[in-house]
Amino acid sequence: MNRLLRRYLILCILAICCTLVISQLFGLIPWDGLYGPTSPRKSTRARSKKVDWRNLKFNFPISSITPLPTGPPLPIPQVQYDFPPESTLQRKVRLERLQAVEKAFLRSWKAYKKYAWLQDEVKPLTAGYRNDYGGWAATLVDNLDTLLIMGLEKEFKIAISGLKKVDFSMYPVSKINVFEMTIRHLGGLLSAHDISKGRYPILLDKAKELGAMLYHAFDTPNAMPIMRLELKK
């Protein structure tokens, strides 16, 4: 190879390396976005408007708040049957079943990652996605604790990095289903927090953000919650 060509080749390789380093430094390569639908995420792009739930005015503010009771909770009695120790064969069967469950879970989880990352749900027949729960990554948030329980640490960490993009101050894409968001999103965040023993502060941070939103469902004349929360102009 002649000197000029070799020099040109070295310059090209250096240029590519520099571009990669700079892109990585400025977060220009969306490694997380390599998961997700190939079609543009219309729902997230349209939601540039924000809602300041913490400072949103209440029409019926509560004047006297019942404080949380203090002291230790009641001990939970054992409800499980006292099984004798597992035989080798029983253990083998149990582990095979565990693996089968994990395999089924991972199949669904990977489909969500590939076709509906950060959306609410994957559509299994069309490989599309839907956002019936406000567009705050319902499947991701709901499964945080499941990932931990199953010992899928790597997947959990991927989910945590996705969670950083879930912003409860974003303008909702649909009416907020108070019940579903409480049991899935709030429940998911808090149980993951408890199971991981507080090791991931983002979980409680997001739970607080969400709590500020959901609390507005109780802003009614008699403090009973509205079940479909929406913002009116």
- Interacting residues with another protein (CB under 8 A): 56, 59, 62, 65-74, 76, 178-179, 182-183, 186-187, 190, 193-194, 204, 207-208, 211, 214-216, 218-229, 231-232
Do residues 109 and 155 make contact, with C-beta atoms less than 8 angstroms apart?
Answer: yes
Q: Which is nearer to another protein, 202 or 204 (CB)?
A: 204
Quote the crossing angle between the two packed helices 153-163 and 88-116, to the nearest 10°.
30
Q: How far is the CB of 60 from another protein (least distance, A)?
A: 9
Q: How far is the CB of 22 from another protein (least distance, A)?
A: 41
Q: Which is nearer to another protein, 108 or 220 (CB)?
A: 220
Phi-psi region of 69 (alpha: psi -120 to 50; beta: other; left: phi over 0): beta
Closest CA to 211 of 190, 226, 195: 190
Q: Which is nearer to another protein, 82 or 230 (CB)?
A: 230
Q: Which is nearer to another protein, 113 or 193 (CB)?
A: 193
Q: Which is nearer to another protein, 154 or 232 (CB)?
A: 232
The backbone torsions φ and ψ at residue 176, rounded to the nearest 5 degrees and listed phi first, read: -85, 120
Cα dihedral: 224, 170, 36, 112 (round 10) = -10
Question: CA 159, CA 32: separation in Å to the nearest integer?
Answer: 10
Q: How far is the CB of 72 from another protein (least distance, A)?
A: 6
Closest CA to 137 of 53, 206, 46: 206
Do residues 119 and 37 make contact, with C-beta atoms less than 8 angstroms apart?
Answer: yes
Q: How far is the CB of 179 from another protein (least distance, A)?
A: 4
Q: How far is the CB of 73 from another protein (least distance, A)?
A: 5
Q: Which is nearer to another protein, 105 or 182 (CB)?
A: 182
Query: 228-229 and 121-123 as β-strands: parallel, antiparallel, unpaired?
Result: unpaired
Do residues 139 and 60 make contact, with C-beta atoms less than 8 angstroms apart?
Answer: no
Q: How far is the CB of 101 from another protein (least distance, A)?
A: 22
